[in-house]
Amino acid sequence: MMRDFPSCFGESGVQIADSSASLARNSPQNSVTCIYKSKIRGCPCLITVTWTKTLMGQGLTVSILVDDGGDHPNSSRSLCRVEIKPWLLISKHRGCRKAPLSSLDSSTLDVHWDLSNAKFGAAPEPVQDYYVAVKDDRDVVLLLGDMEREAHKKLAGLGWARDSAVLVAKRENMLGKKSYCTRAQFRDKGQAHSVVIECDPGGGSLSDPCLVIRIDDRDVVRVRRLRWKFRGNCTIDVDGTGVEVFWDVHNWLFGGDCVGSNYGVFLFQTCPFWAESDNEKFCGSSSSNVSKPSCISSWWSSASPSSSQGIEDDPHHQHQLQLQQGLGFSLILYAWKSE
């Protein structure tokens, strides 16, 4: 039996990602959402950064969820949001926006950005020559981009720790015909890897294709008879880190021509307590449901087409997991078919 498809984004993501959740039911949008764990005035927080790409240009939204650890439900969390519309970025490539941090006092958070010379690839997020910084009245709590020197000049006098923010989750919407590509870093300060997902008719047949997932041009998952294994999960090893891979391509195969139903969902989630010995355990498993072509990856059959199991979210659990424990990294991909 396949494990339940976990939620990558909890309450921390819902505040900013309602539109992203709805696009999984409506139409694809070119967007990337990243969640960073940091601290504001000693309190844990989640900073959500969403980059969008539309016909009008690039857009940027930053939301900050702060947990002060209080027991009272009205005082335990506060949310502030800064949204920079595409037309603002067109006319103002660098700037600053303020947002109130709490309704109890006059404290604010500032979001600074400089995209005047930013270089963009196929994805909506810039790849170089830019910075985005989030600061309170004391410290810089998040700094993105490669223009650190310029950001330090702009934010002179504030404290900043290089390791103050850690990327804990990323969500991306991709559009393609049968191949989808992105890049991911599965461990803090680790190497960035290319991730390719293909629905390959050559591995099966036009009526029952084969699903292939590659990392750095190496096959790590290959699922045949996809019409019977449209949902499933496996564990692979990347840089000595266990990464659990979940897939749900039911809508690819059975979604028909309904608008907003031609997408597959893929989740890559690091295993926080993975050890190298675990790799041998997977390879040495005697389960008849596990294919063991190598000690790098393993996969097993999933639900049948008659199964009603879907993607279930537990926002409260995920919020507590990410804020209090901060374990692992999650990458969730919505792969939309363009035909």
Per-residue pLDDT of the chain (339 residues; tens, 9 = 90+): 455 554 444 333 323 233 334 444 444 568 899 999 988 877 888 999 999 887 777 888 888 888 765 554 444 455 667 777 766 666 678 888 888 776 556 677 888 888 888 888 878 888 899 999 998 877 888 999 989 888 888 887 666 656 678 899 999 998 888 889 888 888 777 788 999 999 865 555 566 788 999 999 899 999 988 888 999 999 998 888 889 999 999 988 887 666 567 889 999 998 865 554 444 444 333 332 323 322 223 222 232 223 333 333 433 334 444 444 445 789 999 998 876
Pair (215, 315) in one structural domain: yes
**Token pair 């900013």 in the structure block, residue:** 16
Among the listed residues 56, 31, 54, 52, the one whose alpha carbon sits nearest the alpha carbon of residue 174: 31
Among the listed residues 200, 175, 197, the one whose alpha carbon sits nearest the alpha carbon of residue 336: 175
In a domain, 5, yes or no: no
For residues 34 and 20, the answer to whether their CB atoms sit within 8 Å is no
Last residue in a domain, options 146, 167, 188:
167
Pair (121, 61) in one structural domain: yes
Pair (53, 140) in one structural domain: yes
How far apart are the C-alpha atoms of 99 and 111, rounded to whole Å? 8
How far apart are the C-alpha atoms of 134 and 237, rounded to whole Å? 34
Q: Which amino acid is at 111?
A: V
For residues 220 and 296, the answer to whether their CB atoms sit within 8 Å is yes
Last residue in a domain, options 167, 196, 215:
167
Pair (184, 329) in one structural domain: yes
In a domain, 2, yes or no: no
Per-residue pLDDT at 239: 82
For residues 234 and 301, the answer to whether their CB atoms sit within 8 Å is no
Element (H, E) at 266: strand 263-270
Among the listed residues 246, 223, 248, 224, the one whose alpha carbon sits nearest the alpha carbon of residue 235: 246
CA-CA distances (angstroms) from residue 242 to 102, 268, 274, 322? 39, 10, 5, 18
Pair (159, 179) in one structural domain: no
| 233: containing domain | 175-337
Question: Domain count of the chain?
Answer: 2
Pair (208, 74) in one structural domain: no
Pair (128, 151) in one structural domain: yes
For residues 124 and 58, the answer to whether their CB atoms sit within 8 Å is yes
Last residue in a domain, options 121, 141, 167:
167
In a domain, 138, yes or no: yes
For residues 173 and 51, the answer to whether their CB atoms sit within 8 Å is no
In a domain, 181, yes or no: yes
Pair (82, 210) in one structural domain: no
Return all residues near 127 (Cβ < 8 A) that are at least 6 apart.
Answer: 119, 120, 121
Global model pTM greater than 0.75:
no
Per-residue pLDDT at 68: 64
Radius of gyration of the chain (CA): 21
How far apart are the C-alpha atoms of 225 and 49, rounded to whole Å? 38
